[in-house]
């Protein structure tokens, strides 16, 4: 398993948890908030770069769930690490 596959699996577990919320928008926001809070900037960058290159969110062995993909795409700016100069 490569690094992006591992990140996809982690993101999907987060998505599974928050997808259970009755309000879909709250679920999307909660997924993005969790990733922003608990993922290192390089992890977020790797996922954002992957989705920029593979908008379908799929590798040969892993695939982002629809809710996770939507949460990341809709919150791209929020999830992009700040560049410190």
* 31 lies in some domain: yes
Asked if residues 72 and 32 have their Cβ atoms less than 8 Å apart, the reply is yes
Return d(Cα 81, Cα 58) in angstroms, integer. 23
| pLDDT for 1 | 54
- Which residue range(s) make up the domain with 13? 3-79
Kindly state the average pLDDT of the residues 63-77: 98
Kindly state the average pLDDT of the residues 12-19: 98
| Residue 5 pLDDT level (bands cut at 50, 70, 90) | very high
For the whole model, what pTM was predicted? 0.92
pLDDT in tens, 19-68: 999 999 999 999 999 999 999 999 999 999 999 999 999 999 999 999 99
Return d(Cα 48, Cα 75) in angstroms, integer. 10
| pLDDT for 14 | 98
Q: Total structural domains in the chain? A: 1
């Amino acid at each position: 398993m490569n690094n992006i596959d591992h990140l996809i699996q982690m993101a999907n577990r987060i998505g599974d948890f928050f997808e259970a919320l009755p309000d879909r928008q709250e679920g999307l926001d909660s997924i993005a908030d969790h990733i922003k809070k608990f993922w290192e900037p390089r992890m977020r960058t790797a996922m954002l770069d992957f989705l920029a290159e593979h908008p379908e969110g799929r590798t040969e062995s892993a695939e982002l769930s629809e809710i996770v993909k939507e949460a990341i795409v809709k919150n791209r700016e929020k999830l992009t690490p700040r560049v410190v100069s």
